[in-house]
Structure 1
């Protein structure tokens, strides 16, 4: 009986807390195939988005540049985070070394924070496009968008480097996946990080999109009667149909992000055993967001379908 219990642990010593995964081999193999398939499709679809916008000059609008930046962070998730997390969760006995733990944690944080930063920029872009269409071309230029994207990525890179430096001590041997990811202590640092990376950004995004929803609904009613309305003798121009459609599409992208990265999901996953099937699925839910985003573009953006066909058929002429 003692031998059988010892076999459940990664390391045969009295202080070991590293338990081997407790699901069947068939389910384990199925999950490996499933998550690695998601990883491959995520990389493939986001590469299509990146190549499409990068290659075709006519697609390099301010809004599409923001989509390009978001696709880069989604590509990193599919290329690095999902495969590494698959191995780490399915094999809780950590064999990848302490430095790879730092790399995995840093990349994970960077993808999360850069996605939030890009979604804030997308929300501001859509807010101006719908709520102040006359000033959109003056306020939102390609040069300004590139500068904002650059600043956003720089802030994320520096912030996450500081965060990982606080949380991770590479001098301490890491033998379990839990020891790598879930770092104890630094309560107030955790609270401040949550407010900075989730609380404030989500409040901004939700507030802007609620305003967009109210204005778009009002404009849709006016467009139904006439495209240009006159109020007290002053002509007001409304956002065009493509702008409203883009706002709807990117609103779905934002909503998808908020659902996948919902902090409630994290707390629910902690209730279950770290090696249970439910915990594994909930842990991977945030990363599925990077898989869904390009699928949303495919359904709502005709340019994505057209450029994808050109790329796949090797017709990359502008």
Structure 2
């Protein structure tokens, strides 16, 4: 009997699949349209978006009728395909999160070697392919070896999910190890930023000035409001020069003419340079701290979406319980919900991706703003 609650849940699940495809499709489209995004670290965002996109395009649409009718009606071959793709995409998404965290760890904790070392695109692509291959090896061979054979073809599930050794091994490979790695990278980033935040045991003072970055980013109001802290903003050199000239001109207006003004101007120029350098250092530190906070949010979201499912799977394997359980079903959907969150936690809050979205969706606004700036 179809109830109102079942219809609402069905609508939400269809909306979730559509939202996953939309959010990750935007990331893929932005990467294709904007050549400025084709950097080594952004390829990992693309790899994550591809995996999550097909979660919404393949995994959920095939599971919804299976769950609604309470039987598999698409044949055993398509069942094997769906199982392999589902486990492959979810595990690949997890491994891409590890790659992104590792890249951030390298960029902050080993900034000099990270910037000077020229990593070829082929090497980056190798990392991306390795994430897919390793993800396939976790579940793929077991599923292809016939773990899901069912003579009546009314079920489509990995029968090894009731085998405790299999569950423990796969849980370690797809959850425990990635969680430890991401936590380690996040802790190293935090410790590095904490060490940089003090000079000879004293906190670095915060200059009481406005950020020179404000007003330079042309982003749509929607993206700027929903995003977490910006990850890659730096103090532009042109803004630093303007700050120096502005402070010097103010000083010249307030001082009298003569030799005394010249001497004080020389000392002010030196102190002003030191102050601006301190401002640039401070803003870089604040930017890196925002990166650390965003990584903590990412780690928390990952654990929130995956830990309940892993826990319930292990419990069911010990009790050999394959009956329907509302909370197990809820945690099953929760891991798919992580594919919905990833675009917001990663690419949509990356400045370069937001600029790409501005070029795509806010083209008129960009043209109007450029015309105003040219006229002024």
Q: Distance in 2 between matches of 1:205 and 1:169?
A: 33
CA contact (8 A) 1:124 1:208 kept: yes
Checking the alignment, whether the CA contact within 8 Å between 2:147 and 2:159 is kept in structure 1 is no
Structure-to-structure mapping, 1:206-245, within 5 angstroms: 206-222=183-199, 224-225=204-205, 241-245=286-290
- TM-score, length of structure 1 as denominator length: 0.76
2:45 and 2:347 in contact (8 A); partners too: no
Deviation sequence 1:274-296 (CA, Å, 0-9, x none):
55654433220110111111123
Report the TM-score, using the length of structure 2 for normalisation: 0.65
1:162 is aligned, of 141, 147, 158, to: 141
Q: Are the equivalent residues in 1 in contact too, given 2:51–2:93 (CA < 8 A)?
A: yes
Alignment of 1:259 with 2:312, yes or no, is no
Give the Å deviation of 1:214. Answer: 2.0
Distance 1:273 1:197, change over 3 A: closer
| Cα separation, 2, equivalents of 1:65 and 1:84 | 28
Match of 1:11 in 2: none
Q: Is the 8 A contact 1:119 1:254 kept in 2?
A: no
Q: Give unmatched runs, 5+ long, in structure 2.
A: 208-280, 365-376
Q: Counterpart of 2:254?
A: none
Deviation at 1:217, TM superposition (A): 2.8
Deviation at 1:30, TM superposition (A): 0.9
Partner of 2:182: 205
CA contact (8 A) 2:193 2:285 kept: no
Partners of 1:287 and 1:100 in 2: CA distance: 20
- Given candidates 41, 49, 68, the residue that maps to 2:27 is 49
Give the match's secondary structure for 2:174.
Answer: helix
Deviations 1:14-33 (A, max 9, x none): xxxxxxxxx85211111111
Q: Rg bigger for which structure?
A: 2
**Cα distance, 1:71 vs structure 2:** 0.7
Cα offsets for 1:125-148 (capped at 9, x unmatched): 111111111111244725232221
CA gap of 1:245–1:185, structure 2 versus 1, over 3 A, is closer
Whole-angstrom distance in 2 between the partners of 1:33 and 1:116? 27
- Residue 133 (1) aligns with residue 111 (2): yes
Partner of 2:342: 293
Instruction: From the superposition, tell whether residues 213 and 87 of structure 1 become closer, same or farther in structure 2 (CA, over 3 Å).
Output: farther
1:70 aligns to 2:70 (yes or no):
no
Unaligned runs of 5+ in 1: 1-22, 228-236
8 Å Cα contact 1:40/1:78 also seen in 2: yes
Tell whether the 8 Å contact from 1:73 to 1:115 is kept in structure 2 after alignment.
Answer: yes
Take 1:194 and 1:84, find their aligned partners in 2: how far apart are those partners?
24
Aligned length: 284
1:10 maps to which residue? none
Distance change in 2, residues 1:92/1:308 (3 Å): same
Instruction: Show the counterpart of 1:92.
Output: 70
Give the secondary structure class of the aligned counterpart of 1:261: helix
Query: Within 2, Cα distance between the matches of 1:221 and 1:140?
Result: 31
Aligned to 1:31: 9
* Contact 1:129–1:243 (Cα < 8 Å) also in 2: no
Superimposed CA distance per residue, residues 122-169 of structure 1 (whole angstroms, 9 cap, x where no aligned partner) = 122111111111111244725232221122223333554313124524
